[in-house]
A and B are shown apart, each in its own frame.
Chain A
Amino acid sequence: MSDAPSRADVRETYETIGSHFSKTREYAWPEVESFVEDRCRGGVALDVGCGNGRHAELLADCADHVVGLDASRELLAAARDRLAACPATTLLQSDAATLPLADDCADLAVYVATIHHLPRRTDRRDSLDELARVLAPDGRALVSAWSTAHNRFDASADAERGFDTTVDWTLPGGRTVPRFYHIYAPTEFERDVAASDLALELLEISSGNCYAVVRPEGKRP
């Protein structure tokens, strides 16, 4: 790709495909289910990049209040429908790299399959610092990104760096919409997390995604 899109461009993409995309994202991921089951004990839980709300729905079963954030209003509209039966849930249209949330407000967060949509490395790093800022001192988050370990990519999972690419989304009727991705090399993902204000507790590769369990670094509970 010659010119990386802006975060506004990425938001536009999901305004275009959101309704159709949402229908193909019905089920929570098992890796997210087990993180939430193990750690969600009331309090405020965030779903950053909530899409249609499939993971916010999991959090709503165990948190006192869930905040779902997404850049795309189309996806938030789908989330509102899905979460209509979950009263302690709030949706915010927002950007992962500039979170509209107070410091230390969240006991738990999931930031799943979202960071790879941020076009620039500085945006991705900012989003990790923002996550650290809003987590309570004893809060935990699960961060996931699509990785070179996925078998659809030719790149070696051992590469030092990932790469930028576009993956076409085909709408009903055949129109294709290009979607930006930064595909992380696992070591690069680990480096970006380590360089942020988050401390890494656990790193796993599962189903072609990197998963990191993180806590804010240097905050005293």
Chain B
Amino acid sequence: MSEGIVYPGPKPLVEERRITRCSQETVDLGKEFGSRLRSGAVVALVGPLGAGKTTLVQGIGAGLGVNEAITSPAFNYLLEYAGQLPFCHADLYRIEDARQFFALGLEEYFDRDGVLAIEWAERIADILPPRTISLYLNPLAKQDEREIIVCLGPPHATK
């Protein structure tokens, strides 16, 4: 019952494709994914409003051993957590392009130890490091169902 994914660019190389049926399953998938990440990992999350990006990041954080609540950093741009690895969660909802990202000094987080997860990362696709792993979240026609696709490399830019 997929509505079909609308890719902003050419179809990326798919490493893994999963369907989650509720937010708990999305959290669980995030945990599994997060527990496999190493220091230096950059994770780009791409999907529309309400797709479950923050929910997936909550799972990734849990997989990295973060015990406290992971909340949306949309207004703070970035929130830091301490897990087995330092974990940074960025949200570029309020940023339009890479120049604004630089204006806030956020590119410094690419070079820090730990894991960096970025929501709305397609807005800075051009400056994401090549090691970026992209997670596409696609809400399906059936409410609460999500298709989640893991791809290697930065997401394709919008526009």
Genuine A/B complex? no
